């Protein structure tokens, strides 16, 4: 009551203050003091409002999340911009805005230009920048639109006094963007703007360890973007930067639409979410370059986003197999023992990796000739057996080796490709595994040639098949450099987002460090992006085949060049769970070849956890088992015989689905389709799916429901309303559209095939190269209308240009009239691998089958299972490329 009395007294003295600070709800407050240490005095110095949250004043019960509700917030009359002129242009409008009063951040820019660009029917772009001086912009090759599209799915309105933008969906009137909720601030090192969200249901905004649904119904949340080497924990900026989100729109008619936003900005950034619902972007450099994607489906949003950042890479075929690694083989004898153990246990696997312990003194592009004395020959032996080998490369290049003894450093010095100190030609030194290091500047035009040269030189010694680029945030064991950082505004900006360590130089190099394109201040979060480009180019140049690159640090668009894993996770059931929203989010971000360290990298795994995780990992797009130095072996063959059999079945299940996986990668690269996706992508009108992230879909056809809890034998899952069959048994699921408990003993992972889909499969081999010529299987899952469809893309799995030259086979499958399966070979240009169909398994055949014909000829090798309603046609040996169209029919009783 005393506090309320003080407010009343203050309002009597300053009526204007109370009027401008009046708020009907806590959720409408926008933080005017986002730094730590906010006080009433500091707040008022900024001419902002200071009040206790309304819920706390009106209740004796502490408001659950009031710690995040700002006490200091913007008044209604806070200085902002006003429109001076609006000019119609070929691309839309160009607006000049200015303001007469500055705000609390230094170097306020008072004259701004706003470009409103009507790029496509579903894509709108807002660019706000300094009218006088050129500022840093993300060095992206994005589509440049010269002419405004005339028909749009969105309506744009400009408020002039004060300036704001309102964008609504024409068909529903739903708000897609509304910047009137909070003032625009545009200073040299502090840019802040807000917009209303359509609903509190928001997805994306990575890389962070979090649930898939960032539900802000009753929560305030801050997400920070500045690439950082740190094991995945919540509420921390992690390895990559992806300021893209998808927002679900709830319409009055019960139908749902989706839209997305992407802020093309690489500077350190906070994104604040609040239950209004609203989103606030705060970045400390660059410009405002915001894309709005209007969908209306979630898949449309993905397509529209990938049109800007680029589609995912088509990976080499072998990279879809099982990968095995650990930090701590320590000797080639231990590595050989693991390989032999896996061979003796008859485990399919394709790729063997080594970590930094295989290097000589942790030096890039070396191997330890004592402890790994025969590594080159071992790699060649693996390759002769159809396997592949990947080694690790860190960006820190040792600068303390004797002159002339270490090519990466010596050649880099000659080509001037290392990052330098601020306003100097002196190299900036950090410390990583090999000791004192310097850091390549992959934005330098000479860097790719230098990188290719040293990669090639080492490849001549150890013929590795792929590159693992780690520590590329870039990571530094020091803060800044061995000499510290400067006192200038780049190293000490007036505002620092909520980065781990409290400083932009924490465990990385100084922001003031100079790169070819700009300062590290602007380019830090893109370091891994540019390294991935150089690595991808190097491997293509050397091997003349598709590249396989695995990068820890990523930026928007990295999926064009690299795969990704979720970093140094731990051997816990929680970490296993968080891997699912991570891989789902990265598929949204256009990095579809993604996985997590199976069984956990840090801590000691258990047999139960590793078994469960191997089952889940069999359904990751990228499947690698990897663990840390000092932990016990966790390769599948190191466990009990019983556990081995369960893990083996999971791996064999994956290998049988490789044709399906490979086709999905082709669709991602060519048609912007996600490979794994949340349930709400396919069942967007079912609100039960909006926050499900313990299950996921492979493509649109397979539902995976892993057991993520220790010592349990059931899993609580949601089966969406559709036709589903158990995989691999083929038995039809009876209860759909409900939450249910499924049996999930240690020996089982629950997977279900969706009716209406035809899934191409293959009989597995010891590895993917050995199994490439094995016979195919078609799994036909009938829908409620007794039809189904599917497709298959097949090439040599390695050629860089097979798609461009059409050196591939492309087949489409369709089931019609409940008894006619058609195989259409639309492209038949790849002849080096037989495509023979051996088995057709048809699910949901609810009438007895009395006969089968293949291309009009009677065929007797079939079985019909009456209780399970499954038709099995076997022993076909049918060449699927023999003719353009082939028909398999069966006769059913009426």
Per-residue model confidence as pLDDT tens digits over 430-451: 999 999 999 999 999 999 999 9
* CA nearest to 725, candidates 788, 640, 660: 788
CA atoms of 468 and 450, how far apart (whole Å) = 18
Residues 586 and 734 in one domain: no
Judged against a pLDDT cut of 80, whether residue 252 lies above it is answered with no
451-508 per-position pLDDT tens digit: 999 999 999 999 999 999 999 999 999 999 999 999 999 999 999 999 999 999 999 9
Following DSSP, what letter does each residue of 198-243 receive, concatenated?
A: SSS-EEEEES----SB---SS--EEEEES-------TTS--S-BEE
CB burial string 539-559: b at 16+ within 10 A, e below: bebbbeebbbbbbbbbbbbbb
Q: Taking a C-beta distance cutoff of 8 angstroms, is the pair 287, 128 a contact?
A: yes
Check residues 63 and 863 and name the one with the higher pLDDT. Answer: 863
* CA nearest to 204, candidates 700, 717, 556, 525: 556
Strands (E), 755-884: 757-762, 776-781, 788-794, 809-816, 820-828, 836-843, 849-854, 857-859, 862-865, 870-873, 878-879
205-236 per-position pLDDT tens digit: 999 999 999 989 888 999 999 999 999 999 99
Confidence of residue 18 (pLDDT cuts 50, 70, 90): confident
Residues 844 and 809 in one domain: yes
CA atoms of 230 and 717, how far apart (whole Å) = 32
H/E segment holding residue 288 = strand 288-293
Q: Is 737 inside a domain boundary?
A: yes
Strand order across the beta sheet in which 724-727 lies: 676-677, 696-698, 702-705, 750-754, 724-727
Q: Taking a C-beta distance cutoff of 8 angstroms, is the pair 700, 757 a contact?
A: yes
Task: Write the burial class of residue 739 (CB in 10 Å: 0-12 exposed, 13-18 middle, 19+ buried).
Answer: exposed
31-73 per-position pLDDT tens digit: 999 999 999 999 999 999 999 887 655 544 344 444 489 999 9
Reading the block at residue 303, the tokens are 């397509």
Residues 60 and 166 in one domain: no
* Phi, psi of 550, rounded to the nearest 5 degrees: -120, 120
Judged against a pLDDT cut of 80, whether residue 614 lies above it is answered with yes
Q: Is 504 inside a domain boundary?
A: no
CA atoms of 211 and 362, how far apart (whole Å) = 36
The whole-number pLDDT of residue 65 equals: 43
* CA nearest to 74, candidates 102, 55, 51: 51
Provide the CATH number for the domain around residue 22.
Answer: 4.10.110.10
Tokens 């349930």 belong to 679
The whole-number pLDDT of residue 857 equals: 97
CA atoms of 872 and 656, how far apart (whole Å) = 17
Q: Taking a C-beta distance cutoff of 8 angstroms, is the pair 755, 781 a contact?
A: yes
Q: Taking a C-beta distance cutoff of 8 angstroms, is the pair 752, 728 a contact?
A: no
Q: Is 460 inside a domain boundary?
A: yes
Q: Is 506 inside a domain boundary?
A: no
The whole-number pLDDT of residue 64 equals: 40
Residues 384 and 274 in one domain: no
The structural domain count of the chain equals 4
Q: Is 784 inside a domain boundary?
A: yes
CA atoms of 392 and 367, how far apart (whole Å) = 11
In angstroms, how far is CA 673 from the centroid of its own chain?
A: 13
Reading the block at residue 34, the tokens are 């986002």
Report the pLDDT averaged over residues 802-827: 97
Provide the CATH number for the domain around residue 351.
Answer: 3.20.20.80
Give the three-state DSSP class for 778.
Answer: strand
DSSP code for 570: B
The whole-number pLDDT of residue 14 equals: 53
Q: Taking a C-beta distance cutoff of 8 angstroms, is the pair 435, 400 a contact?
A: yes
Residues 450 and 579 in one domain: yes
262-309 per-position pLDDT tens digit: 999 999 999 999 999 999 999 999 999 999 999 999 999 999 999 999
CA atoms of 809 and 247, how far apart (whole Å) = 38
Quote the pTM value. Answer: 0.96
Q: Taking a C-beta distance cutoff of 8 angstroms, is the pair 723, 754 a contact?
A: yes
Q: Which of 605, 629, 664 marks a domain boundary? A: 664
542-552 per-position pLDDT tens digit: 999 999 999 99
Q: Is 512 inside a domain boundary?
A: no
Judged against a pLDDT cut of 80, whether residue 2 lies above it is answered with no
CA atoms of 484 and 375, how far apart (whole Å) = 39
Percent of the chain's residues with pLDDT above 90: 93
Which range marks the domain in which residue 578 is found?
Answer: 317-418+432-478+524-664
The CA-based angle 411-372-458, given to 5 degrees, is: 25
Q: Taking a C-beta distance cutoff of 8 angstroms, is the pair 295, 247 a contact?
A: no
Confidence of residue 15 (pLDDT cuts 50, 70, 90): low
* Phi, psi of 293, rounded to the nearest 5 degrees: -110, 120
Q: Which of 309, 332, 354 marks a domain boundary? A: 309
- The active-site residue out of 470, 575, 682, 693 is 470
H/E segment holding residue 647 = helix 641-656
CA atoms of 752 and 196, how far apart (whole Å) = 39
Percent of the chain's residues with pLDDT above 70: 97
Provide the CATH number for the domain around residue 212.
Answer: 2.60.40.1760
CB burial string 386-410: b at 16+ within 10 A, e below: bbbbbbbbbbbbbbebeeeebbbbe
Residues 294 and 223 in one domain: yes
For the chain, what is the mean pLDDT? 95
Any idea how long the chain is? 894
Reading the block at residue 738, the tokens are 């409900």
Q: Which of 274, 290, 309 marks a domain boundary? A: 309
* CA nearest to 224, candidates 291, 286, 278, 273: 273
Confidence of residue 319 (pLDDT cuts 50, 70, 90): very high
Residues 60 and 93 in one domain: no
Q: Is 511 inside a domain boundary?
A: no
Residues 390 and 277 in one domain: no
Using left for φ > 0, alpha for ψ between -120 and 50, and beta otherwise, residue 11 falls in alpha
Judged against a pLDDT cut of 60, whether residue 256 lies above it is answered with yes
- The active-site residue out of 26, 473, 498, 568 is 473
The whole-number pLDDT of residue 6 equals: 40
Following DSSP, what letter does each residue of 129-186 receive, concatenated?
A: EESSS-------------S--S--SEEEEEETTTTEEEEEETTT--EEEEGGGS--EE
CA atoms of 347 and 352, how far apart (whole Å) = 13
The whole-number pLDDT of residue 70 equals: 92
Residues 349 and 397 in one domain: yes
Q: Taking a C-beta distance cutoff of 8 angstroms, is the pair 57, 3 a contact?
A: yes
Q: Is 519 inside a domain boundary?
A: no
Provide the CATH number for the domain around residue 790.
Answer: 2.60.40.1180
Residues 628 and 573 in one domain: yes
Tally DSSP H helices, then E strands, for the chain: 17, 49
Task: Print the SS3 string covering 686-726.
Answer: CHHHCCCCCCEEECCCEEEECCCCCCCCEEEEEECCCCEEE
Check residues 742 and 61 and name the one with the higher pLDDT. Answer: 742
Tokens 């040996």 belong to 877
Residues 332 and 473 in one domain: yes
Check residues 23 and 730 and name the one with the higher pLDDT. Answer: 730
Residues 619 and 686 in one domain: no
Note if 473 is an active site residue.
Answer: yes
Judged against a pLDDT cut of 90, whether residue 251 lies above it is answered with no
Work out the number of other CB atoms within 10 angstroms of the CB of residue 848. 13
DSSP code for 352: E
CA atoms of 835 and 794, how far apart (whole Å) = 9
Confidence of residue 7 (pLDDT cuts 50, 70, 90): very low
Confidence of residue 10 (pLDDT cuts 50, 70, 90): very low
Confidence of residue 11 (pLDDT cuts 50, 70, 90): low
């Amino acid at each position: 009551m005393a506090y309320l009395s003080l407010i009343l007294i203050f309002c009597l003295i300053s009526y204007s203050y109370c009027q401008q600070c009046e708020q009907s709800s806590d959720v409408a407050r926008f933080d005017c003091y986002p730094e730590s240490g906010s006080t009433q005095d500091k707040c008022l110095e900024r001419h902002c409002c200071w009040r206790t949250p309304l819920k706390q004043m009106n209740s004796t019960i502490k408001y659950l999340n009031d710690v995040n509700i700002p006490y200091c917030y913007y008044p209604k009359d806070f200085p902002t911009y006003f429109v001076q002129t609006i000019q119609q242009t070929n691309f839309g409008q160009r607006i000049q805005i200015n303001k007469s009063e500055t705000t609390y951040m230094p170097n306020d820019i008072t004259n701004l230009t706003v470009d409103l660009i009507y790029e496509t029917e579903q894509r709108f772009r807002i660019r706000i920048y300094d009218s006088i001086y050129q500022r840093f912009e993300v060095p992206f090759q994005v589509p440049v639109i010269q002419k405004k599209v005339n028909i749009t799915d969105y309506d744009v309105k400009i408020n002039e006094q004060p300036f704001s933008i309102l964008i609504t969906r024409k068909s529903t009137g739903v708000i897609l963007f509304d910047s009137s909720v909070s003032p625009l601030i545009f200073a040299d090192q502090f840019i802040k703007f807000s917009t209303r969200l359509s609903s509190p249901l928001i997805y994306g905004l990575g890389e962070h360890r979090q649930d898939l649904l960032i539900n802000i119904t009753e929560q305030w949340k801050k997400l920070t973007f500045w690439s950082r080497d740190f094991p995945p924990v919540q509420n921390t900026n992690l390895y990559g930067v992806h300021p893209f989100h998808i927002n679900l729109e709830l319409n009055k008619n019960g139908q749902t639409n989706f839209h997305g936003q992407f802020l093309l900005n690489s500077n350190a950034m906070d994104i604040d979410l609040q239950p209004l619902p609203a989103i606030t972007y705060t970045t400390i450099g660059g410009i405002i370059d915001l894309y709005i994607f209007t969908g209306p489906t979630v898949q449309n949003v993905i397509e529209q986003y990938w049109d800007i950042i680029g589609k995912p890479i088509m990976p080499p075929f072998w990279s879809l197999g099982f990968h095995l690694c650990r930090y701590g083989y320590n000797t080639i004898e231990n590595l050989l023992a693991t390989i032999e153990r896996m061979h003796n246990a008859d485990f399919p696997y394709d790729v063997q990796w080594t970590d930094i312990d295989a290097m000589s003194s942790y030096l890039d592009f070396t191997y330890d000739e004592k402890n790994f004395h025969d590594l080159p020959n071992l790699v060649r032996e693996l390759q002769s057996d159809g396997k592949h080998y990947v080694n690790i490369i860190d960006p820190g290049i040792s600068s303390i080796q004797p002159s002339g003894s270490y090519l990466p450093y010596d050649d880099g010095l000659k080509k001037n490709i290392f990052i330098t100190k601020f306003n100097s030609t002196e190299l900036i030194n950090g410390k990583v595994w090999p000791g004192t290091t310097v850091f390549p500047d992959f934005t330098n035009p000479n860097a790719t040639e230098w990188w290719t040269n040293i990669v090639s030189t080492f490849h001549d010694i150890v013929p590795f098949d792929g590159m693992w680029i780690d520590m590329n945030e870039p990571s530094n064991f020091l803060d800044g450099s061995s000499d510290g950082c400067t006192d200038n505004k780049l190293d000490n900006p007036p505002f620092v987002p909520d980065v781990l360590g409290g400083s932009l130089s924490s465990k990385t190099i100084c922001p003031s460090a100079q790169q070819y394109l700009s300062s590290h201040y602007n380019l830090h979060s893109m370091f891994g992006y540019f390294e991935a480009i150089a690595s991808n180019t190097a491997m293509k140049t050397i091997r003349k085949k598709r590249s396989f690159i695995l990068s820890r640090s990523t930026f928007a668009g990295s999926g064009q060049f690299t795969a990704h894993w979720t970093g140094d996770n731990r051997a816990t059931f929680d970490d296993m769970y968080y891997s699912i929203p991570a891989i789902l989010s990265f598929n949204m971000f256009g990095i579809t070849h993604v996985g997590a360290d199976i069984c956990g990298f840090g801590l000691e795994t258990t047999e139960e956890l590793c078994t469960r995780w191997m089952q889940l990992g069999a359904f990751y797009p990228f499947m690698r088992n990897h663990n840390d130095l000092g932990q016990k072996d966790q390769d599948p063959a190191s466990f009990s015989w019983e556990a081995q059999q369960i893990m083996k079945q999971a791996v064999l299940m994956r290998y049988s689905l490789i044709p399906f996986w490979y086709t999905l990668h082709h669709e991602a690269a060519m048609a912007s389709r996600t490979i794994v996706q949340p349930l709400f992508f396919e069942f967007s009108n079912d609100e039960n799916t909006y926050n499900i992230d313990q299950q996921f879909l492979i493509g649109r056809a397979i539902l995976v429901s892993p057991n993520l809890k220790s010592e349990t034998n059931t899993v609580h899952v949601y089966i969406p309303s559709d036709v589903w069959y158990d995989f691999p048994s083929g038995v039809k699921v009876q209860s759909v559209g409900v939450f249910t408990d499924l049996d999930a003993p240690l020996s089982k992972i629950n997977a279900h095939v969706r009716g209406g889909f035809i899934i191409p499969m293959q009989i597995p081999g010891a590895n993917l190269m050995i199994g490439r010529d094995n016979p195919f299987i078609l799994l036909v899952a009938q829908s409620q209308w007794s039809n189904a469809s599917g497709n298959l893309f097949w090439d040599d799995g390695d050629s860089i240009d097979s798609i461009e030259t059409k050196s591939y086979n492309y087949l489409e499958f369709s089931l019609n009239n409940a008894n006619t399966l058609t195989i259409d070979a639309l492209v038949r240009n790849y002849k080096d691998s037989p495509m023979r169909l051996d088995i057709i398994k048809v699910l949901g055949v609810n009438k007895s089958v009395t006969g089968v014909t293949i291309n009009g000829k009677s065929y007797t090798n079939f079985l019909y299972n009456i209780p399970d309603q499954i038709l099995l046609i076997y022993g076909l040996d049918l060449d699927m490329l023999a003719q353009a169209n082939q028909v398999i029919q069966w006769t059913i009783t009426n």
